[in-house]
Structure 1
Amino acid sequence: MQWTDYITPLMEGAWVTIQLTFYSTILGAVLAFAAGIGKLSHNWAIKSVSVGYIEVFRGTSLLVQLFWLYFALPIAGTAMGIDLRLPPVLAGVLALGLNIGAYGAEVVRGAIQAVHTDQHEAARALNFTPRQTLWRVVLPQAIPEMMPSFGNLAVQNLKDTALVSLISLGDLTFRAEQIRNFTQDSTTIYTMLLFTYFGMALVLTALMRWLEHAVTRWRTVGG
């Protein structure tokens, strides 16, 4: 086989990797805001759930989380008489999203707490409720501060998708390993794999920087 024969299967795997990255990053962003805001809540139940989620998923291995969702959860479901088997794609998205969401939650919390107390006092002077203060005053100022860290997490999430190959999901790494096993051409395959991930990371970084600039312009215009 020529190296050009490797391109089609690798691109098929790259498309799976792109989808995993997109969906898990969206899920992670939603969870990050929910848990980050929840950790600052005065409601003990909401705060406890948020802290528990953050600590568990930041304190355990992503690989173990992935294996638990794909292998252990169905066994636990069978013991309870419930079918909890997850398709590989769903297990991958959930594991990646839950993991990046826990790290993103700390970014959200830190950015919210970094908003100057004068802003909160001004909101109270205008008779804003806590919810109005959060959505109209705090978050518009905090979100631009979160974007650089979110960009780093998104790139890290892209690289972490390689782990889903261990549950036989046909992502970029899985396809590359299939080709390598068939051809024994490790040097070519892994070099192509290296540069493919590098190229995808560059594109994702550019997209996140564009989004960061867009959010910053929105804040400036809104202000």
Structure 2
Amino acid sequence: MRELMPLLMKGTLVTIEIALYSILLAIVMAGLATALRTAPLRVVRWTGNIYVEVFRGTSLLVQLFWFFFVLPLAPFNIELTPFTVAIVGLGLHYGAYGSELLRGALHSVPNGQYEAALALNMSAATRMRRIVLPQALLNALPPATNLMIELLKGTSLVSLITLSDLTFRARQLDESTFRTAEIFSLTLVIYFVLAQTISYAMRHVERRLGKHISGHGAAPGK
């Protein structure tokens, strides 16, 4: 255990870093894509829909390979580091799923909330900020937690583009020590602990947001 853990911990730190940055990018892309898909202009809506359908409809592994191996070639001539490729690939891929999730959460807000806000002569921006988004985010948090855990597990694919993440370190140790059972059992435990950490943190956020909404009242004017 003392021999294996230091190297696995180095890989774990890389996995955590990739996951955190990718989650932040996925949140930004989910919000941006949802805004594009609900825009009044058809061309803008198409842009958001194309992004979501392309990244949902193709393999994450192939997307990572495309960013890593194809972008440096002509006519793109864009060379990204493996770390950047991992963040961009995971962020864009899961951001597309997040957009669909957020759109469903927005539709889950009762029509009565919109009507009450209109009756109080709230602007569209105020209605979205004070009434719709808090309730939609509360509805979106449980499936968003699952999506973040899926993203965490998806980081194991970045070992195939030469990043020394947890999975890469585990394979490296296995090839040099042949202690397969111990190494991959430890790797499973580490991924499980990381996933449970995300789940616990998101439950805390969900409770805080739920208290905030119930304290202010779901309906406008309360």
TM-score where L is the length of structure 2: 0.93
Q: How does 1:132-143 map to 2 (within 5 A)?
A: 132-143=126-137
Structure 2 CA distance, aligned partners of 1:138 and 1:38? 17
Structure 2 CA distance, aligned partners of 1:129 and 1:48? 26
From 72, 80, 89, give the equivalent of 2:70: 72
Deviation (angstroms), 1:83: 4.0
Structure 1 CA distance, aligned partners of 2:206 and 2:35? 21
Q: How does 1:40-189 map to 2 (within 5 A)?
A: 40-75=38-73, 79-80=74-75, 83-189=77-183
User: What whole-Å deviation, never above 9, does each CA across 1:40-73 have from its counterpart, x for those lacking one?
Assistant: 2222122111111111111000001111111111
Q: Which amino acid aligns with 1:143?
A: L
Give the match for residue 31 of structure 2: 33
Identify which range, 29-38 or 5-14, moves more after superposition.
Answer: 29-38
Q: By percentage of residues, which structure has more helix? A: 1
Q: How many residues align?
A: 217
Q: Which amino acid aligns with 1:151?
A: T
Structure 1 CA distance, aligned partners of 2:100 and 2:129? 18
Give the match for residue 201 of structure 1: 195
Q: How does 1:17-32 map to 2 (within 5 A)?
A: 17-32=15-30
Q: Which amino acid aligns with 2:7?
A: P
Kept after mapping to 2: 8 A contact 1:36/1:107: no
Q: Which amino acid aligns with 1:153?
A: L
Computed over aligned residues only, the root mean square deviation of the Cα atoms, in angstroms, reads 1.3
Kept after mapping to 2: 8 A contact 1:57/1:102: yes
The percent identity for this pair of structures is 40
Deviation (angstroms), 1:149: 0.7
Kept after mapping to 2: 8 A contact 1:13/1:170: yes
Instruction: Look up the SS of the partner of 1:128 in the other structure.
Output: coil
Structure 2 CA distance, aligned partners of 1:142 and 1:52? 23
Structure 1 CA distance, aligned partners of 2:168 and 2:113? 50
Deviation (angstroms), 1:212: 1.3
Question: Gaps (5+ residues) in structure 2?
Answer: 218-222
TM-score where L is the length of structure 1: 0.93
Kept after mapping to 1: 8 A contact 2:72/2:79: yes
Task: List structure 1 runs of 4+ shifted beyond 6 angstroms.
Answer: none
Q: Which amino acid aligns with 1:38?
A: L
From 11, 19, 37, give the equivalent of 2:9: 11
User: What whole-Å deviation, never above 9, does each CA across 1:58-100 have from its counterpart, x for those lacking one?
Assistant: 100000111111111111xxx23x6411111110011111111
Deviation (angstroms), 1:126: 2.4
Identify which range, 209-218 or 23-32, moves more after superposition.
Answer: 209-218
Structure 2 CA distance, aligned partners of 1:222 and 1:90? 41
Give the match for residue 220 of structure 2: none
Kept after mapping to 1: 8 A contact 2:29/2:99: yes
